[in-house]
Amino acid sequence: MYDSDSFNSLKTHASRMNTPEFHLKHLIKDPCRLTDFSLNIPGFFYDFSRQRLDNSVRQTLNTLAGETRAKEMFVQMAAGNPVNPTEKRAALHTAARGFLDSGLKPENTQILSDIRTVARNIRIFSQDVHKGRITGTRKKKFTDAVIVGIGGSYLGCEFVYKALKPGRHPKINLHFLSNVDIDNFGQILTRIEPDTCLWIIVSKSYTTTETMANLTQVQAFLNRHHLNPEDHLVTITAKGSPGDDPSNPVRASFYMFDFIGGRYSVSSAVGGVPLSLAFGYDTFEQFLIGCAQMDRHAFQAPVQENIPLTAALISIWNIQILKYSAQAIIPYSSALSKLPPHVQQVYMESLGKSVDIHGTPLPCPAGSIVFGEPGTNAQHSFFQLAHQGPAFPVEFIGVLKPGYTGDQVTSKGVFNHQELWANLIAQTQALAKGRDHEDPARSFSGNRPSSLVVIPDLTPESVGLLLSFYEARTVFEGFMLNINPFDQFGVELGKILASGIRRQMAEKNAGTPSGGTPPDPVTAFYLKALFNGRID
C-alpha cells in the first residue's frame, strides 16, 4: 500500500485538504454534501459528510481499495482460506452466522455442519434451562449465570447483553467475571444465590491464567456450598483443550473452533450460550441475522457503496495520511456503553502491528488508539480536549428509538431521547464548524472530523449489524495495510514475564524460596511492598 500511486497521491490530496478553503465549515455548506458522503442499507446509515475529504480524495481511496485487493481478501476470508498465515488458520466468523453457504469453499462445508450442531445444542440447552428441565444440585431453577472469561472470550458478549437488555427482562441474568482481581469475584457473590447460579467458563485455550484462577475460585465456592460442578459448570472451549476433558464432567460443554478468533467470536458459542440463556435462542438467532446482513453487504457491495470498506478507507486516510493518532467511538446510547471497549479490542488487537504478513517491518506501526464512552457523559469528561486540544476523529452512533419506552415526560419541552439527540447533532456540528471568538480561550478551531452511524433501534438485528460492521471494517483495514488482523503476539511478552514473577510469589507463599533474585531492583521493590502490604 505504502508505495502505491494512490497512496502517494493521497499525500498530495492531504496538502490540499489542509488549506483553509477546505475547512469542514465550508465543505458542509454544500447542499449535496450529505447525499454524496453517506451510505445506507436497510437498518444502517453511515454519514461521513463531516470527514475531511472531497470527491477526489474519495476516488483515490476507492482506487487504493482496489489496488490492495481488500474485497478479494474478504472473499478469501469468507471462503475459508488461511488468511491468518502466522497461525495457519482460517478466519470464519462469518460462517458462524450461517451466512455464506455460497462463499465457503466446498471442502469447508463440514464447518457449517459443525457450526449447526453447536447451534442446535445451544438451542436445546437454553430451552431446557428455561423450562427447568436442567436445574442445579438442589433442583432449583437457574436464575443467574456468571460468564468467566477475558478478552475476546468476554468483551463482545457483555456488549451485546447490555445492548439488548433495555426493554427486555432476561430469563437468566448474566454477570461477568473477567478480571483476576478478587474484588471482581467478591462483587459477583453479592448478586447471585449459589443454588440458582450457573458458571460458564469461556476460554478457547483453557490456559489463560486469569480465567483459570477464577475457575479455581468457582470450584472452591461450589465445594463450600456442597454443589456439584457437573450441575453448575458449563464450558465453552476448543476441542482438545485442557477444558475438553471427560474426566471432569460438567453440566454442558460447547466447542469453540480454531477458525474463529477470540475477538471475532461473539456470534459463536461464546455469545450464543450466554445470550440464549439470557434472552432465548430466537433472539440470538435474530442477532445473527443482523450480523449476516452486514456480512453480505461487505461481501457483495462494490467499493464505492461498501459501508465497512468505506469506513476502513476513511480510517486509513485519517491515521496514515492525516496522521491522527487516536479515534473515539461515542455511542449516544447507554445500552451501547460496552461497544467502545469491545471495538477497542477488536481494532487494537487486530491492527496494532509492526510488520506486514511477510514479517517485513512497516514504514510506521499500524493501528491507532481507540477509546470511547457513551454520550452525553463523554461531553462532560474528555470533550474539552476533543474541541480545543489535539484533534482526533470521532465516530458517533445514534439510535433512533431507545430500548426503554416508559416514563415519557418532557424537560424544556423535549423528551430525554430528544435531548440526547440534540446533543449528538450539536457535537458533530461543533467539531466540524468551530467558532471564531475575540477571546482566544473561547475560540474553537473546528475542522475536526467525525462520522455518524445511525441504527433505528436496539433490536437484535440492529445490534448484529453494528457488531458485524466493526468486524468487517477492521479486517478490511488490516487487509489494506497488508498485515495479519487475526494474530496477537503482542500480548505474549507480558504473560511470559508474569509467569516468572508468579513463580517467585508462589515460592514465597509456600515458604520454599528458591533463592532466585527478582530480575531487577524495581521488581524487588514491588514484591516486597506487596508481601508487606506497605511501601517502605
Residues in Cβ contact with 500 at an 8 Å cutoff, skipping those fewer than 6 apart: 519
- Bridge partners (DSSP) of residue 198 are 145
What cell was used for 376? 452525553
- Say whether residue 203 binds ligand F6P (CB under 6 A): yes
- Say whether residue 342 binds ligand F6P (CB under 6 A): no
**211 or 286: CB nearest ligand F6P:** 211
| Catalytic (active site) residue 349 | yes
Region near ligand F6P per CB under 6 A, out of 147-155, 290-298, 375-383, 435-443: 147-155
**204 or 448: CB nearest ligand F6P:** 204
- The 273-312 site mask, x for binding ligand F6P (CB under 6 A), equals ----------------------------------------
Place of cell 450539536: 426
Region near ligand F6P per CB under 6 A, out of 14-22, 200-208, 306-314, 414-422: 200-208
Q: In the window 452-491, what residues touch ligand F6P (CB under 6 A)?
A: 488, 491
**251 or 263: CB nearest ligand F6P:** 263
- In the list 64, 150, 314, 430, the residue contacting ligand F6P (rule: CB under 6 A) is 150
Alpha carbon separation from 471 to 115, 294, 339, 369, 396 (Å, rounded) = 19, 10, 12, 16, 17
- In the list 151, 156, 372, 393, the residue contacting ligand F6P (rule: CB under 6 A) is 151
d(CA 208, CA 216): 12
- Say whether residue 143 binds ligand F6P (CB under 6 A): no
Angle at 277 between CA 275 and CA 281, to 5 degrees: 70
- In the list 80, 136, 243, 262, the residue contacting ligand F6P (rule: CB under 6 A) is 262
Q: What are phi and psi of 395, to 5 degrees?
A: -110, 110
d(CA 535, CA 28): 57
- In the list 58, 93, 204, 473, the residue contacting ligand F6P (rule: CB under 6 A) is 204
Active-site annotation holder among 26, 239, 380, 401: 380
**Read out DSSP for 153-184?**
GTHHHHHHHHHH-TT---SSEEEEE----HHH
Reported as type and span, the H/E element at residue 292 is helix 281-300
Helix, strand or coil, per DSSP, at residue 469: helix
Place of cell 469447508: 108
Query: How many of the other CB atoms lie within 10 Å of CB of 408?
Result: 9
Q: In the window 33-62, what residues touch ligand F6P (CB under 6 A)?
A: none
Angle at 51 between CA 48 and CA 57, to 5 degrees: 100
Looking at beta carbons, which residue is closest to ligand F6P?
262
**269 or 458: CB nearest ligand F6P:** 269
Q: What are phi and psi of 175, to 5 degrees?
A: -135, 155
Q: Is 444 left (phi over 0), alpha (psi -120 to 50) or beta?
A: beta
d(CA 123, CA 121): 5
Q: How far is the CB of 178 from ligand F6P (least distance, A)?
A: 9
Q: In the window 349-408, what residues touch ligand F6P (CB under 6 A)?
A: 349
Q: In the window 209-238, what residues touch ligand F6P (CB under 6 A)?
A: 211
| Catalytic (active site) residue 495 | yes
Region near ligand F6P per CB under 6 A, out of 146-154, 189-197, 271-279, 420-428: 146-154
With CB under 6 A as the rule, give the number of residues binding ligand F6P: 14
**413 or 494: CB nearest ligand F6P:** 494
Residue 228 near residue 248 (C-beta atoms within 8 A): no
Q: How far is the CB of 348 from ligand F6P (least distance, A)?
A: 11
- Say whether residue 153 binds ligand F6P (CB under 6 A): yes
Residue 351 near residue 478 (C-beta atoms within 8 A): yes
Q: How far is the CB of 102 from ligand F6P (least distance, A)?
A: 29
**14 or 213: CB nearest ligand F6P:** 213
Region near ligand F6P per CB under 6 A, out of 11-19, 47-55, 128-136, 144-152: 144-152
d(CA 404, CA 406): 6
Residue 427 near residue 484 (C-beta atoms within 8 A): no
- Say whether residue 152 binds ligand F6P (CB under 6 A): yes
Catalytic residues: 349, 380, 495
For ligand F6P, the binding residues (CB under 6 A) are 150-153, 203-205, 208, 211, 262-263, 349, 488, 491
